Homo-oligomer: A and B are copies of this chain.
Amino acid sequence: MKLKCKVVDVLTSIPEALLDPDDCAIIGVRENDRVRIGGPKGEVSVLLVSSNLIGEGNMVIPESVAKRVGVKNGEEAEVNYSPSPESVRAIRKKMDGQKLEPKEIEAVVNDIYAGSLSNIEVSAWLTALYINEMDLDEIAAFAQAMVNTGDRVPFEKGPIFDFHSVGGVPGNKITPIVVSICAAAGLMLPKTSSRAISSACGTSDFVETFCNIEVTTDKLKEIGETVGGAFVWGGSMNLAPVDDIVIKIEHPLGINPRPQMLASILSKKLAINANYLLVDIPTGAGTKVPTIEVARAYARDFTDLGEKLGIHVECAITYADQPVGSAIGPNLEARECIRVLEGSEHPASVVEKACECAGILLEMAGFHDGVRKAREILSSGQAHKKFMEIVVAQGGRADLKSSDLKPGKYSADILAPKSGYVNSISNKDLVAVAKACGSANDKGAGLLLFKKKGQRVEAGDVLFTLYADNEAKLLRAKDMAERYSPITIEGMLIKRISTPEPR
């Protein structure tokens, strides 16, 4: 039927048309069906919303749709029923617990990318993936489909090394250190990182405090092929763009289905043509991977998927019962990271973890005794030199120093309420407190830990200091820190021993 168009300039991610319920009945469509809108320039299928406010004979469409079909405000357009995309069948099949064919997975990925699936359908897809899972064949096909919707970095040299942390442990600022050590040893490690999703501060969130993280695929190729290393933001390129859409649906549900997570990680490795990949799996209470058994299962998945996708994968299961190092938040983490490279500070958990990971990568490249080699490169200053080359290549200052990175101007100390030993540190609560301080959006926001697990504290000692760029946020975070008590102190040594520590 023909309807008069009201064109509005409000555009949401998935194009919709609003029609009167009576017109819907005549066309034979119902809310959340599709309608095909046709005008002089062409046709486009959009989601149908039924609304009593539109009036019979009228239709509200976004400007983007009006332009594509070639109709103007007040003009008529042809509106008809349009069937759901074929990929909805694949979603149903996964809801019914069946294994999907590669072309079915590809159809879902392509339709999510094209905006042809509604929030309802993508949510059902992710829920079905969360509950019914995928086997490794399906996940490999999923990764392949995801990389096919995006760009690839056109490296002409190789082999390409890559490093990925599953995440979940706060303060994990090792990426620039690992990249710098490996690149100093001659490896090509053009690392793409992400911003915080549920964490307090992603690698890209703290790297952007001292250099540019947004590059094109051509620029990443150039830096990788000349300097060897990079630590850029993957989101600035179009590597696996389906991710951005999916994250918006995962977020309100608080889920990250295992098949989606694995496919998403591996698709980005395929996009940079990685030949060798080290996966860091931080394991500990309050992280994504709570036990060693879960970590082993992830490791098996990554290595098996690597084999299916032609990437040599190794995994490092790392200790994550408490934060890595002492800083959480963009400027604070950047400062701690650069201090390690400068050699002006030696927080054991940061240095050890970075050298262990870099060591495995060096051994994958053929070096013997990788960890020793990594330590040498770090302590000799070669890693710092390479780090500065990368910083400059990414548009940072050639005279960058750790002291350039300043914590927020508002601060508050959280004191030990009693004497004893630090019994546990809650990653989850520290993340919540750091986010309340304003991290990762406010660059000075975050916290500095002064006590780690097992250390002796006296009543009144500073356990950690909060920093914020904004006083209101500081007060809110302080209140939260006092309510949550992320660090618990146990008076009796005997009780401390009874708490098992998974390592």
**A residues in contact (CB < 8 Å) with B:** 8-13, 16, 18, 25-26, 28, 30-33, 49, 51, 53, 60, 84, 88, 91-92, 95, 97, 118-124, 126-128, 130-132, 248-249, 251-255, 435, 438, 441
Q: Is the CB of B251 within 8 A of A33?
A: yes
Q: Shortest Cβ distance from A441 into chain B, in angstroms?
A: 5
Q: Shortest Cβ distance from A320 into chain B, in angstroms?
A: 22
Q: Is the CB of A254 within 8 A of B10?
A: no
Q: Is the CB of B91 within 8 A of A441?
A: no
Q: Is the CB of A252 within 8 A of B118?
A: yes
Chain B residues whose C-beta falls within 8 Å of the C-beta of A31 in the assembled complex: 13, 248, 251
Choose among B16, B127, B252 the residue that contacts A128 (Cβ–Cβ < 8 A).
B127
19 intermolecular pairs with C-beta atoms under 8 Å apart: A8-B8, A8-B10, A10-B51, A10-B53, A10-B60, A12-B18, A25-B441, A32-B248, A32-B249, A32-B251, A88-B254, A95-B131, A95-B253, A95-B255, A119-B119, A119-B120, A121-B252, A124-B253, A127-B127
How distant is the Cα of A131 from the Cα of B91 in the complex, in angstroms?
A: 12
Chain B residue nearest in CB terms to A436:
B28
User: How many copies altogether?
Assistant: 2
Residue from A18, A31, A88, A128 with most neighbouring chain B CB atoms (10 Å): A31
Chain B residues whose C-beta falls within 8 Å of the C-beta of A122 in the assembled complex: 120
Q: Shortest Cβ distance from A251 into chain B, in angstroms?
A: 6
Q: Is the CB of A119 within 8 A of B127?
A: no
Q: Is the CB of A252 within 8 A of B11?
A: no
Q: Is the CB of A26 within 8 A of B441?
A: yes
How distant is the Cα of A92 from the Cα of B256 in the complex, in angstroms?
A: 12
Choose among B9, B16, B25, B119 the residue that contacts A53 (Cβ–Cβ < 8 A).
B9
Q: Shortest Cβ distance from A79 into chain B, in angstroms?
A: 15
How distant is the Cα of A121 from the Cα of B126 in the complex, in angstroms?
A: 11
How distant is the Cα of A128 from the Cα of B16 in the complex, in angstroms?
A: 26
Q: Shortest Cβ distance from A121 into chain B, in angstroms?
A: 6
Q: Shortest Cβ distance from A4 into chain B, in angstroms?
A: 15
Chain B residue nearest in CB terms to A252:
B32
Choose among B18, B30, B126, B253 the residue that contacts A91 (Cβ–Cβ < 8 A).
B253
Q: Is the CB of A253 within 8 A of B12?
A: no
How distant is the Cα of A13 from the Cα of B127 in the complex, in angstroms?
A: 23
Choose among B25, B88, B123, B132 the residue that contacts A131 (Cβ–Cβ < 8 A).
B132
Q: Is the CB of A88 within 8 A of B10?
A: no
Q: Is the CB of B252 within 8 A of A95?
A: no
Apart from the given pairs A10-B60, A25-B441, 5 other A-B contacts in the complex at a CB distance below 8 Å: A12-B16, A12-B49, A84-B252, A120-B249, A128-B131
How distant is the Cα of A53 from the Cα of B32 in the complex, in angstroms?
A: 24
Chain B residue nearest in CB terms to A51:
B11
How distant is the Cα of A49 from the Cα of B441 in the complex, in angstroms?
A: 19
